[in-house]
Chain A
Amino acid sequence: MKNIMHTAKVMLLAGSVVAAPAITFAADNPIRGNIRIVIGSKSTGGDTYQASSIIAEALAAKIDANIKVDAVGFSAGYQALERVPSGNTLMIFHDQAYLGHLYKQKGYEDPFKQWQIGPSFATNPGNGYLVPKNSPYKNMDEILNAAGNGQTIRVAIQPGGVSEIGYTAMKNAVRLAYPGQEDNLVALNTGSQSDKNQAMFDGLADVINGSVQANEQYTRLPADDQKAMNFVWLTAKSSTLQNANPEGMGQTSRDELLQYASGLGVRVPMDAENDFTFDKEFFFLYNKRMSPEVVAFLDNALAEVFADGKVQETLKKSFFIPNFRTSAEAQKHFKAKRDSYAKIIESLQK
């Protein structure tokens, strides 16, 4: 009966995430009414929704507001954000926001001009590349050398974003070691993760973009299973990956995953001295007209959420790495990051 009563209470809260009141923040909250967080992905099964939901719940509890995360995709998300400067609509996205613009994808404007960059809060170190278990290529060296020696290597990616930046880096690495051979790496334009997996099952792709979260179970299948795959590269910095949950994901520990990170088990050179790495980070985007008062309020609220320490545990449990920066710090960080990847993309297009 107690259970039923509890359930009934929860049902009354349908459609919103409500938590215990936090009197100080509630009283100071300059945002009147409910808050809607739109995200740049249409998927509720992906990392953007997961990270956004975790931070939304923590923030809702801290400021005693109803916050709902809507997976509307970047285009609808931008439209919604443009309409509401009051802070009642916020957006969460990741590096795709500026990579889409660098890759000249339709609909992607320069986020630094169009929006205010809000706080960052998490990194997903799981972005990576996989090959079939029965592939002739066992690691990145073999893949890059094969391309350098004239073999066509087909890489399944979704163009214009986090998925493509690793492919760009592979091309760059082939060009450094084997100038003029980089076109042997061919992008296979696919859509969702399931399309990329299917391209591998069909024998259409030699390498696919994937993630620890989506593909870890496939790496544990026996080699004779058509669906079995192996990681060959995780794009995150090894120093970033070292901050992940030691238990890793599924049955694969963090230490096992580290062997696919740059500097430890893998080399994808960016230039003569440095390896290419890429950390996928999640951050808020605000309407350009949103008042400094609201920006400061959200900065402080999130700083307190992280000071409490609980959200870090939740993020780590889902293989995210907590990574809080205030709006000003995030703006500076992502601008520098954008500039550095712009150079790589530009050099490859020459």
Chain B
Amino acid sequence: MEFLELLSPSYFLLAAAGSIIGIIFGAIPGMTATMAVAVCLPLTYTLGLHEGLALLLGLYVGGISGGLVPAILLNIPGTPSSITTTFDGYPMAQRGEAERALKICIVASLFGGFFSAIILFFFAPILADFAIKFSYVEKFLMIFFAMSVIASLSKNILMGVFSGLIGVLLSLIGTYDVSNGGNGEYRLMATWMEPYLAYGFSLLPVLIGLFGISTIIEEAEKGVKENSLENKVNLTKGTPFRFNVFKGQTGNLLRSSSIGTFIGMLPGIGGSAASILSYTQQKNLSKNPEKMGKGAPEGLVASESANNALTGGALIPLLSLGIPGDSTTAVLIGAFTLQGLQVGPLFIGENIDTWYSMVTGLMFANVVMFIAMFYAIRYIAKVVLIPKFILYPIIVMMCAVGAYAINYGIMFDVWTLFLFGVAGWIFGKIGIEVAPLVIGFILGSSAEVYFVKSLESYGEYSILVTKSPIALVLWGLIILSIVLSVIIHRKSKQQATEEAAQ
């Protein structure tokens, strides 16, 4: 147990500091876990590998978790993987249950984080061997499966699918990047746009624009009166938090955490797919699907347990194959690089002490995240009490700073933020649905790459079905997901008609 010697007080202090700093990064719209890890990466030089990793793992866990705060309180996903948290979190905050929603999310996050850390510890090499069975075809189908949720999340299926397609189209603007195996050509833009859109619209400014800025424009349109009672949220009005809210959620927690871990371990799928898939599977299997999206705790449980389960999942291919599972672990790998340490299929066996210390750091960071957020939350929740005429300008400023910083100082990202803010406001008026559009935007470019690569590699459309048993299972899930969505839509339509008749 030589690794115990590595666990000095400063090791734990750094993991805790990382977790808290990460929460702050995650909670500021436009700042992400990836950015937090990138900023602190050079510190691993001075700190050494183990203590450096403790700090970075803390930042990773904190950064992913912090995204739930603005998602619930402001309807702005702090990180892309907390989009689905806004669906139920914000309505709960609006009816005075902000503290309850935040606490549900924090407990679910802790569960997801622990679940994936345990899976990582016991099954990493086996799962990595399974992950490499996912070729271009299976990865495309996995993304297609995640996209099938658009049907379930739409208020009107046709409009939802149309909105999703607009999102896909928007995601294809820019270069078909050679680093993705593309031809490096620009698509869907005029020549004069090339300096701005060579790499397309950045995800976070689009996301924050559509969710956050558009809401603020809507409020501005209505006019915010200084002493208006209707705008005041009463924090004590709603149902208070009790642990019994998790009664009946065991299946949801386990399923969502498994989906999160699984998506995390598939490189190239992207973290947001985890929470989107978990949320929709819960909606499809829920006894009360009509309540989801209107402030149902089960939606929060699904979304947050899945996105925190990503952390352990994304470390599986990193430590078992040397391949990062998501954008944050892609930066985290730099900590090993800076120390001249190889990560690959023999990493765990040859660096057993580092491996144990990383799993310890990951678990500890989750505990700190839980304690820090659970007990600070009553104060954080008071953000909703700040009058909107003070709060909104601050949010706009923070969003603009975050958008500018996300790609290390690109002004066009700030224009993207405002452009999509206005677009989101217009979409609301003409019936285009923002959630399906965003899902299309997030998943569109990966779907294209894997679809094109599948055809380039195998040369026939039938390969999408015949490639492997995994492909067949995925097709089964896609069909099931669409059928269930249609049934749920019909049921809720029928219910609405009956209610209207009464």
Contacts and interface: CB of A to CB of B under 8 A. Distances in A.
Interface of A: 3-4, 6-7, 10-11, 13-17, 38, 42-46, 49-50, 53, 57, 68-73, 75-76, 80, 105-107, 158-160, 188-195, 197-199, 201-202, 204, 213-218, 220-221, 225-227, 249-250, 317-319
Shortest 9 CB-CB contacts between residues of A and residues of B: A44-B334, A217-B344, A45-B333, A194-B323, A318-B340, A7-B10, A106-B184, A3-B10, A202-B135
A44 B333 contact: yes
A158 B13 CA distance: 42
Contacts of B203: none
Interface stretch (B23-31, B172-180, B220-228): B172-180
B10 A216 contact: no
A133 to B, nearest CB: 13
B9 A216 contact: no
B166 interface: no
A32 B177 CA distance: 36
B177 A191 contact: yes
Interface string B1-31: 0000000111001100100000000000000
A75 B175 CA distance: 11
A194 B175 CA distance: 21
Given A75-B198, A190-B181, A10 B322 contact: no
Given A76-B407, A221-B346, A198 B199 contact: no
Given A6-B10, A217-B322, A249 B408 contact: no
A256 to B, nearest CB: 15
B205 interface: no
B256 to A, nearest CB: 26
B51 interface: yes
13 contacts: A42-B179, A43-B330, A45-B334, A45-B337, A50-B337, A73-B179, A75-B198, A191-B181, A194-B323, A204-B135, A221-B346, A225-B345, A318-B340
B377 interface: no
Nearest to B334: A44
A16 B42 contact: yes
Contact of B181 (A11, A50, A195, A197): A195
Given A44-B331, A194-B323, A217-B322, A7 B344 contact: no
B45 interface: yes
Nearest to A5: B10
Interface in B279-337: 317, 321-324, 330-331, 333-334, 336-337
Contacts, number: 159
A7 B337 contact: no
A15 B40 contact: yes
Contact of B180 (A14, A105, A191): A191
Nearest to B42: A17
B337 A10 contact: no
A188 B322 CA distance: 22
A54 to B, nearest CB: 8
Interface in B181-210: 181-186, 198-199
Contacts of A191: 177-182
Interface secondary structure of A, over-half rule: mixed
Interface string B32-53: 0000001111110111000100
A216 B342 contact: yes
Contacts of B340: 50, 317-319
Nearest to A77: B408
Contact of B337 (A44, A73, A75): A44
B338 interface: yes
Given A44-B38, A69-B42, A50 B338 contact: yes
B394 interface: no
Nearest to B44: A53
B356 interface: no
A17 B45 contact: yes
A72 B407 contact: yes
B178 A159 contact: yes
A213 B344 CA distance: 10
B225 to A, nearest CB: 42
Given A44-B331, A70-B408, A160 B135 contact: no
A238 B76 CA distance: 56
A200 to B, nearest CB: 10
B347 interface: yes
Nearest to B179: A191
B236 interface: no
B407 A13 contact: no
Contact of A53 (B175, B181, B338): B338
A110 B179 CA distance: 20
B184 A160 contact: yes
A237 B179 CA distance: 27
Given A43-B330, A194-B321, 18 more contacts: A4-B10, A7-B47, A10-B43, A15-B42, A69-B42, A72-B407, A106-B186, A159-B183, A160-B178, A160-B184, A189-B181, A191-B177, A191-B178, A194-B317, A197-B321, A213-B342, A214-B342, A214-B344
B457 interface: yes
Nearest to A188: B457
A114 B344 CA distance: 38
B342 A217 contact: yes
B132 interface: yes
A46 B337 contact: yes
